[in-house]
Amino acid sequence: DTEVTQTPKHLVMGMTNKKSLKCEQHMGHRAMYWYKQKAKKPPELMFVYSYEKLSINESVPSRFSPECPNSSLLNLHLHALQPEDSALYLCASSQQGYHEQYFGPGTRLTVT
């Protein structure tokens, strides 16, 4: 199984809401990532988990809170977002950070 799944596919939330994005992989990968992508731009790395520990936080605002409950699951908790946070949020996994990464289909987030 070489699939990374993400839920939900679409999410609309108000600035006062709390929501969570979920990501799952069953490839035995020990590194998992969250990326943010704006239209016509490359993915921007947000967080890296390696062996279930947060190893990289690319100075992401605290309204984004990642969580890795186990080696197969990755969550991104969202709270008090701003309209400029509207984007495609991509999850990925790999054996090591600089190896081939497998991406999920993304969650299209709209903040109103």
Partner 1 sequence: SQQGEEDPQALSIQEGENATMNCSYKTSINNLQWYRQNSGRGLVHLILIRSNEREKHSGRLRVTLDTSKKSSSLLITASRAADTASYFCATGEAAGNKLTFGGGTRVLVKP
Binding site for partner 1 (CB under 8 A): 4, 31, 33, 40-43, 45, 48, 50, 55-56, 88, 90, 92, 96-106, 108
Q: Smaller CB distance to partner 1: residue 11 or 31?
A: 31
CA 106 to chain centre: 8
- Rounded to the nearest whole angstrom, what is the least distance from the CB of residue 82 to partner 1 in the complex? 22
| 75 and 66 Cβ atoms separated by less than 8 Å | yes
Q: Smaller CB distance to partner 1: residue 31 or 78?
A: 31
